[in-house]
């Protein structure tokens, strides 16, 4: 033990270790938590809007494909084709990167501060918070699979690969056919439904945590926010999770 890290015990000759110097944090928890709250809220709002768009599938191919074409052509000619869509993808990509980075940093700091000790007898709310890393990781895997399956089309058969063809200034899409091709596979249908349930759990806990991270106070306000969080999570889990079941049973065809 070097002199810089030890001192002599005044009652004996044994050296006493000095407390180690704390490493400077690149950003404080007081910044990371609001970052998670804001980015999570943005992505949660996107999930809700995306769910509303998915409801177009209940109206048939024409309605769903028209909605998909509108997303690609919205704002034209003020902005290029796909311009708004790519801007939205960029914002969501940045939010996802910040959200994951902040979440993992807070998680690692919490485990480092806890050390070898593990809390037991946690309440359900605390257990839900502790599962956020697992549910978030599963949702992240789904995002990658979903992009490969429907956006890029690597996992869907070539005949139903999502194409965008411009004719007379109009954008045509085959999103409905791609949706059927994807969810008509039992494995993907089960995976999609399970992930929607996982996403619902993640949303419920995440939206509730926003109230804490952004400083919401008052019993009534916190109760209202809890109800909103659970309602939004249930809406996403039920509406999106029902799509594979309805496709497999032929209700949506």
Please report, for the chain, the start and end positions of each structural domain, with discontinuous segments joined by +: 28-112+132-248
* Mean pLDDT, range 73-82, rounded to an integer: 84
Would you say residue 11 has pLDDT above 70? no
pTM above 0.95, yes or no: no
CA distance 243 to 237: 10
CA distance 35 to 225: 19
CA distance 75 to 73: 6
CATH number of the domain at 28-112+132-248, please?
A: 1.20.1300
CA distance 252 to 250: 5
Task: Let me know if 137 is exposed, middle or buried by CB neighbors in 10 A (0-12, 13-18, 19+).
Answer: middle
For residue 22, the model assigns a pLDDT of: 54
Would you say residue 232 has pLDDT above 80? yes
| Mean pLDDT, all residues of the chain | 79
- Beta strand pairing status for 15-17 and 6-8? antiparallel
Question: Would you place residue 154 in the very low, low, confident or very high pLDDT band (cuts 50, 70, 90)?
Answer: low
Would you say residue 44 has pLDDT above 60? yes
For residue 18, the model assigns a pLDDT of: 52
pLDDT digit string (tens) for 173-210?
578 888 888 889 899 999 999 999 999 999 988 888 88
Alpha carbon 235 to its chain's center: 15
Question: Would you place residue 71 in the very low, low, confident or very high pLDDT band (cuts 50, 70, 90)?
Answer: confident
Q: Which residues contact 74 (CB under 8 A, 6 or more apart)?
A: 84, 85
Would you say residue 59 has pLDDT above 80? yes
* Mean pLDDT, range 34-56, rounded to an integer: 91
Q: Which residue has the higher pLDDT, 19 or 80?
A: 80
* Mean pLDDT, range 234-245, rounded to an integer: 92
Three-class SS of 32-80:
HHHHHHHHHHHHHHHHHHHHHHHHHHHHCHHHHHHHHHHHHHCCCCCCC
For residue 117, the model assigns a pLDDT of: 62
For residue 124, the model assigns a pLDDT of: 56
């Amino acid at each position: 033990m070097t002199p810089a890290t030890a001192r002599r015990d005044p009652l004996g000759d044994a050296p006493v270790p000095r407390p180690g110097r704390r490493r400077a944090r690149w950003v404080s928890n007081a910044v990371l938590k609001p970052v998670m709250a804001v980015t999570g809220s943005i992505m949660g709002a996107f999930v809700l809007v995306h769910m509303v768009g998915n409801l177009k599938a209940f109206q048939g191919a024409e309605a769903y494909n028209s909605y998909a074409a509108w997303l690609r052509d919205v704002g034209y000619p003020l902005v290029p084709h796909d311009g708004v869509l790519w801007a939205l993808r960029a914002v969501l990509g940045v939010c996802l990167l910040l959200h994951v980075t902040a979440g993992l940093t807070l998680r690692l700091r919490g485990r480092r501060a806890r050390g070898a000790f593990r809390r037991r007898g946690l309440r359900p709310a605390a257990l839900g918070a502790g599962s956020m890393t697992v549910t978030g990781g599963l949702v992240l895997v789904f995002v990658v699979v979903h992009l490969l399956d429907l956006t890029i089309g690597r996992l869907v058969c070539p005949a139903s690969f999502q194409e965008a063809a411009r004719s007379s200034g109009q954008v045509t899409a085959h999103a409905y056919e791609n949706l059927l091709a994807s969810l008509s596979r039992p494995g993907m249908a089960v995976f999609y439904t399970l992930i929607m349930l996982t996403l619902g759990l993640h949303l419920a806990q995440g939206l509730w945590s926003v109230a804490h991270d952004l400083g919401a106070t008052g019993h009534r306000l916190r109760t209202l926010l809890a109800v909103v969080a659970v309602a939004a999570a249930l809406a996403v889990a039920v509406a999106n999770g029902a799509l594979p079941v309805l496709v497999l049973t032929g209700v949506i065809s």
